């Protein structure tokens, strides 16, 4: 099997794992089995990104997805704080990736949205948790989350994939904070959290890989 076909198979396996993970919620699985299933969705996106690596940017994307998968597992294995630190590390790497690939001339509306996004997300996240003692920590994490989404929106990567995917990640986390506050913690909110998160990561990964592949292909032809 060629590397390209292997990458496609891994991507399909990631989608299958990400979509089917919802079934794990109603199955009598051990905690280890459920966490493995949970981590497979984004973990396989990290493998997909690695199979498409052609540059430092590709490795940065791989690291973003790897931290996401690690966060998925650590949330259940080590608690919210440890899992959030893994996700925060991924956001910081993603910010570096997006800044390296910033859009040359963003429009005023794009800049305005990115600028408004950061304080809005931090304030909303701070207000949502019922446990006010933990609200400052939530705000700090949300600053990294919001900066990730803002820099994604201002990057040269397609906004209808990478930009929207990053915003889906933001909404997913806000729902998590809301479940610990004024919003119900039920199947519907759980489905929203997982669906927005996984498909957000999927859009980010596929969108970045496509642009990096086109960029490297152009450079190869230019050198030839």
User: What is the tens place of the pLDDT at every residue in 127-144?
Assistant: 998 888 889 999 999 999
pLDDT at 169: 98
User: What is the tens place of the pLDDT at every residue in 158-204?
Assistant: 999 999 999 999 999 999 999 877 888 889 999 999 999 999 999 99
3 pLDDT band (50/70/90 cuts)? Answer: confident
- Report the chain's mean pLDDT, rounded to a whole number: 92
Mean pLDDT score, 113-124: 96
User: What is the tens place of the pLDDT at every residue in 20-59?
Assistant: 999 999 999 999 999 999 999 999 999 999 999 989 999 9
pLDDT at 182: 82
pLDDT of 64 higher than 50? yes
pLDDT of 16 higher than 50? yes
Neighbour count for residue 69 (Cβ, 10 Å): 22
pLDDT at 216: 60
| Residues facing 155 on adjacent strands | 102
What are the Cα distances from residue 100, in Å, to 15, 54, 144, 162, 212?
28, 15, 17, 15, 12
| Residue 72 near residue 42 (C-beta atoms within 8 A) | yes
pLDDT at 222: 33
Domain positions in the chain are: 3-223
């Amino acid at each position: 099997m060629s590397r390209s076909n292997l990458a496609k198979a891994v991507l399909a396996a990631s989608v299958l794992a990400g979509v089917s993970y919802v079934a794990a919620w109603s199955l009598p699985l051990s905690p280890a089995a459920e966490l493995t299933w949970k981590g497979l969705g984004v973990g396989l996106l990290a493998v997909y990104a690695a199979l498409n690596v052609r540059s430092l940017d590709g490795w940065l994307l791989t690291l973003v997805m790897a931290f996401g998968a690690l966060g998925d597992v650590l949330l259940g294995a080590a608690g919210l704080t440890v899992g959030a630190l893994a996700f925060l590390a991924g956001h910081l790497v993603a910010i570096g990736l997006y800044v390296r690939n910033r859009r040359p001339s963003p429009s005023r509306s794009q800049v305005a949205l990115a600028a408004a996004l950061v304080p809005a997300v931090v304030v909303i996240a701070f207000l949502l948790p019922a446990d006010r003692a933990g609200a400052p920590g939530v705000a700090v994490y949300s600053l990294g989350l919001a900066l990730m989404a803002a820099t994604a929106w201002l990057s040269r990567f397609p906004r209808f994939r990478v930009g929207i995917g990053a915003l889906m990640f933001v909404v997913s986390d806000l729902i998590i904070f809301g479940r610990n506050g004024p919003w119900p913690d039920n199947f519907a909110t759980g489905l929203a959290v997982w669906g927005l998160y996984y498909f957000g990561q999927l859009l980010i990964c596929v969108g970045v890989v496509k642009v990096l592949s086109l960029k490297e292909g152009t450079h190869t032809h230019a050198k030839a």
